[in-house]
Structure 1
Amino acid sequence: MPVLTRLIPSPVSVDIAAGALDNLAGLLADQRISPSGRLAVAISGGSGAALRDRLTPALPGADWYEVSGGTIDAAVQLADAMRVKHYDAVVGLGGGKIIDAAKYASARVGLPMVAVATNLSHDGICSPVSILDNDAGRGSYGVPTPIALVVDLDVIRQAPVRYVRSGIGDAVSNLSAVADWELSHRETGEQIDGLAAAMARQAGEAVLRHPGGCDDDSFLTVLAEALVLSGIAMSIAGHTRPSSGACHEISHALDLLYPRRSALHGEQVGLGAAFATHLRGEGRRAVLIAEVLRRHGLPVLPEEIGFTTEEFTAAVSYAPETRPGRYTILEHLDLTTDEIRDAYADYVKAISS
């Protein structure tokens, strides 16, 4: 008998609402994630630590672990610390670095992981990937998707607005990533998962088309949902292709070539998406993406996040080296440095007119 359906890896619970944090203990019990209440809670010294006093009475059986940052060493140390006790689950409470460290640590010790996001800076809150700094720079590590996700909009509004803007850039970049995936399918025969592509594309379109702003609960809900869908799309595909194309190659190149700069991931991939869309000859689409990024206060030019034109050109030239074997518009065009510089000048004119 043919298999007519497939199982989709996804959280058993996604709670996105104002005040959602107050129901964390109930969610853990009701979903039988932690019926005993024995939890390891990973927090940062910032947003996570600030919420510890609020949550401690509701989680009396929890042990709290302060994680030093989003590094592979910190994640391994967290895993080693958790081995000495028996827990039902791991809770990652904080921003992207803490959630990525908690995902990796929970996978290492074989425990389910609950993501409690205190900002919406990127789609890692529900993805099957942990991005962690290592001795070679930064690495991507495959991990199970979080078993549950909590996003309290009241907490999100307290985070710096720059983090929300970064999430917007990451969600919108899906549109460029899927276009690159489709390009590779046409040119190289790479298999494309239609469901994963559709989910990632619709997540990006929902954010692109929403008229609200960063202080609007309706918009924040759509953004959070889009980031969740992006993570699930990657789980369906079994890789990051639905949300990572030339846009992310450019961002990775900026990180590797200029590691001491302070731009956020979503700021870089949003810019990369607008430029990659221009390279694909989708002029009107590139202008639309740039307009939406500008409306939300995101950069559309490298100098707006501290990079010169020459540095950006060098990053675009180096970008294909960051993902060997991945085919995007950058590999397709195989531009020289002078051609990249000319294409960037055309891009600037197009989005400025």
Structure 2
Amino acid sequence: MPLLARTVTAPLAVEVHAGAVRHLGELLADRRISAGGEVAVVVGPGIGKEAAEQARESLARAEVLTIDAGTHGGALELATKLRSRNFDAVVGIGGGRVIDTVKYAAFRQGLPMVSVATSLANDGIASPTASLDRDGHSISYGAQIPIAVIVDLDFVRRAPARQLSSGVGDALSNLCATADWQLSHTETGEPIDGLAIAMSRGGAESVLRHPGSVGDDTFLATLANALVLGGTAMAVAGTSLPASGACHEIAHAIQERHPTVATHGEQVGMGALFATYLRGDEQLFREMAHAMKRHHLPRIPSDMGLTVDQFAVAVAYAPKTRPGRYTILEHLSLDVSDLRDRITEFCDELS
């Protein structure tokens, strides 16, 4: 009987431990990404510069570039700078905005990109997408998945607790995304990828049930691995569906109407919790609500400064943010009045 297999797009290396940045040059050489250290090291303001100095201990021939991260224009400007020298790869060191900017610039230039995360706010550290601001809107662009992902816990520990909690929300939201994907498969015939679902859901469940906190290295390593799995699952599936369902529709709707009320991870976390409530999965709802409370994430609209009416309007609009996608929101097709009632019940359940 013939054995059939598929090639999976995934990072060549994933390193999650304290002190990882100091050994970056060795990793790049061992993985044949850059034998001589001819790389561009790109950082934004803040802690990334310190990490870059540590990286240079093993990358003496690297060129360090500082950018104003997070915009489409900034990514294109960086892509132009990368033409100045024959680099083997591009190393992005910093938080999500830096990583996404470098990821897209490297993709535009056809260069391998190494993601070095100093925070764990979302799964962008390993995803094949880049969220960049353009003309006042946050737009998700396709890119190549990082060839290597490095998470140095020495730097992650120093990130604001809210950023790390935001990463928890992003990881937990994959429980909603995979449930929505399976619902779409049942109701519309949408093809599903069992491997991508296993990766995304497995990482999320490890975060859901880990007893630690963002002040605990073992928990931070678990969170980092979950975000890597979520990002890689998108590359495996060739779609964002393993990590984006009703949770992200709700988040995008909130972002459009109330752009300053919460972080992305907080928005998708609360969106996932409400979508799980609508789905009627009582056990998962209780587990998610408990985990979110433990990690100081907003669970009801008032936790992020929204009224029930504001949240109802956002949820009603949410399906328009991803036309053609089928989630629990499209399945139930609730109007603002119905949503107001369900949200009130949802809040009462958590009070």
CA distance in 2, matches of 1:84, 1:306: 47
The letter of the residue matching 1:87 is F
Aligned position for 2:332: 333
1:267 Cα deviation after fit: 0.6
Alignment partner, residue 269 of structure 2:
270
What pairs up with 1:1-353 in 2 under 5 angstroms? 4-135=4-135, 137-259=137-259, 261-352=260-351
- Unmatched 5+ stretches in structure 2: none
Q: Which deviates more, 323-332 or 304-313?
A: 304-313
Asked if structure 2 preserves the Cα contact closer than 8 Å seen for 1:121 and 1:165, the reply is yes
Deviation at 1:175, TM superposition (A): 0.5
Taking the aligned partners of 2:261 and 2:124, their CA distance within structure 1 comes to 19
* Aligned CA-pair RMSD: 1.3
Q: What is the one-letter code of the residue matched to 2:346?
A: Y
* 1:44–1:98 contact (8 Å) kept in structure 2: yes
Give the direction of change, closer, same or farther, for the CA distance of 1:245–1:93 in structure 2 (3 Å limit): same
| Structure-2 separation of matches of 1:316 and 1:284 | 23
Q: Give the letter aligned to residue 197 of structure 1.
A: I
Cα offsets for 1:281-331 (capped at 9, x unmatched):
123321221111010111101222222222211110110010000000001
Are the aligned partners of 2:22 and 2:57 in contact in 1 as well (CA < 8 Å)? no
Q: Secondary structure at the match of 1:29?
A: helix
Contact kept in structure 1, 2:21 and 2:54, CA below 8 Å: no
After TM superposition, give the deviation of residue 3 of structure 1 in Å: 6.2
Deviation at 1:152, TM superposition (A): 0.8
Q: Which moved more, 1:301-310 or 1:33-42?
A: 301-310
Displacement, 1:65? 1.5
Q: Deviations over 1:237-270 (max 9, x none)?
A: 10100010000000011111223x1511111111
CA contact (8 A) 1:287 1:351 kept: no
**Secondary structure, in 3 states, of the residue corresponding to 1:40?**
strand
State the distance in 1 between where 2:350 and 2:287 align: 9
1:86 is paired with a residue of what secondary structure?
Answer: coil
Ranges in structure 1 where 5+ consecutive residues have no aligned partner: none
Instruction: List structure 1 segments (4+ residues) > 4 angstroms apart after TM superposition.
Output: none
What is the count of residue pairs matched by the alignment?
351
Identity of aligned residues (%): 51
